[in-house]
A and B are shown apart, each in its own frame.
Chain A
Amino acid sequence: MSINTLRLAGALFGAVALYSAPAVAEDLVLGASVQLTGPVANTGRYYKDAYEFTIDKINEAGGVKVGDKQYKLALKLYDNQSDVNLSVRQYTQLITQDKVNLLLGPFASNFALADSAISEKYQVPMVQGGGASDQIFSRNFKYIFGTLAPASNYFGSTIAMMKELDPAPKSVALLYADDSFDVSVAKGTRPLLTDAGFTIALDERYTSNASDFNSLLSQVKNANVDAVLMAGHETEILNFVRQAKSLSVAPKLYSFTVGVPSEDFRKALGKDADYAYGMSAWLPSTDLKDRWFGDAAAFAEAYKAKYGYAPDYHAASGAADVEALAKAVEAAGTIDPKAVRDAIAKLNFDSLYGTVAFGENGQINLAQTVVQIQDGNLAAVYGGKGFIEKPKYPMPTWDAR
Chain B
Amino acid sequence: MNSAIRIAIALLAVVVLAALPWFGSDVIVQFGISTLLLAVLAQGWNIIGGYTGYPSFGNSTFFGLGAYGVAVAMVQWNMPFWVGMVFGAAMAVCFAILLGLPVLRLKGHYFAIATLALAQVVAAIVSNIPLFGQNIGLVLPPLNNDAMFYELSLALLLMATLTVWWLTRSRFGFGLIAIRENEEGAAVMGVNTTLYKVMAFALSGLFSSLAGGIQAYWITFLDPASAFDISLNVKMIIMAVFGGPGTVLGPIVGAVVLSAVSEVLSSEVTNAAGLFFGIVVVAAVVLMPRGLADIVHHFRKSGWRYFVQNIRAHRI
Given A7-B268, A207-B127, A17 and B28 contact (CB-CB distance below 8 Å):
yes
Least Cβ–Cβ distance between A261 and chain B, in angstroms: 25
A92 to B267, CA, bound (A): 12
Q: Which residues of B contact A120 (CB under 8 A)?
A: 142
B223-252 near A? 1/0 per residue, CB < 8 Å:
101100000000000000000000000000
Q: Which residues of A contact B266 (CB under 8 A)?
A: 78-79, 81, 86, 90
Least Cβ–Cβ distance between B218 and chain A, in angstroms: 9
Q: Which residues of B contact A11 (CB under 8 A)?
A: 260-261, 263-264
A77 to B267, CA, bound (A): 9
Q: Is A397 an interface residue (CB 8 A)?
A: no
> Which of A79, A93, A207 contacts B27 (CB under 8 A)?
A93
Given A96-B30, A97-B27, A117 and B135 contact (CB-CB distance below 8 Å):
no
A183–B136 touching, CB < 8 Å: yes
Given A93-B27, A117-B142, A208-B135, A37 and B260 contact (CB-CB distance below 8 Å):
no
A321-340 near B? 1/0 per residue, CB < 8 Å:
00000000000000000000
B258-277 near A? 1/0 per residue, CB < 8 Å:
00110110111111011000
Given A117-B220, A178-B127, A16 and B136 contact (CB-CB distance below 8 Å):
no
A96 to B146, CA, bound (A): 12
**CB within 8 Å of B: which A67-88 residues:** 77-79, 81, 83-86, 88
A135–B136 touching, CB < 8 Å: yes
Q: Is A175 an interface residue (CB 8 A)?
A: no
Q: Which residues of B contact A85 (CB under 8 A)?
A: 219, 226
Q: Which residues of A contact B225 (CB under 8 A)?
A: 84
Least Cβ–Cβ distance between A186 and chain B, in angstroms: 11
Q: Is B137 an interface residue (CB 8 A)?
A: yes
Given A14-B256, A97-B25, A79 and B273 contact (CB-CB distance below 8 Å):
yes
Q: Is A180 an interface residue (CB 8 A)?
A: yes
- Interface residue tally on B, bucketed by range: 35 or more
Most chain A CB inside 10 Å of its own CB: which residue of B136, B225, B266: B136
Q: Is B306 an interface residue (CB 8 A)?
A: no
Is chain B's interface secondary structure helix, strand, loop, or mixed overall? helix
Q: Is A163 an interface residue (CB 8 A)?
A: no
B30–A16 touching, CB < 8 Å: no
Q: Which residues of B contact A19 (CB under 8 A)?
A: 27, 267
Closest to A109 in B: B136
Q: Which residues of B contact A222 (CB under 8 A)?
A: none
A16–B271 touching, CB < 8 Å: no
> Which of B25, B142, B220 contacts A17 (CB under 8 A)?
B25
A178–B134 touching, CB < 8 Å: yes
A96 to B30, CA, bound (A): 10
A93–B267 touching, CB < 8 Å: yes
Q: Is A114 an interface residue (CB 8 A)?
A: yes
Given A81-B273, A88-B221, A113-B139, A12 and B34 contact (CB-CB distance below 8 Å):
no
**CB within 8 Å of B: which A11-44 residues:** 11-12, 14, 16-17, 19, 36-38
Q: Chain B interface (Cβ within 8 Å of chain A)?
A: 24-28, 30-31, 34, 124, 127, 134-137, 139, 142, 144, 219-221, 223, 225-226, 256-257, 260-261, 263-264, 266-271, 273-274
Apart from A16-B260, A88-B220, A114-B139: 4 A-B pairs, beta carbons within 8 A: A16-B31, A79-B271, A79-B273, A96-B26
Of the A-B pairs whose beta carbons lie under 8 Å apart in the complex, a sample of 16, sorted by A's number, is: A11-B260, A16-B31, A16-B260, A16-B263, A36-B270, A36-B271, A78-B267, A81-B266, A86-B266, A90-B267, A92-B27, A114-B219, A120-B142, A121-B144, A183-B136, A207-B124
Q: Chain A interface (Cβ within 8 Å of chain B)?
A: 4, 7-8, 11-12, 14, 16-17, 19, 36-38, 77-79, 81, 83-86, 88-90, 92-93, 96-97, 110, 113-114, 117, 120-121, 135, 139, 178-180, 183, 207-208
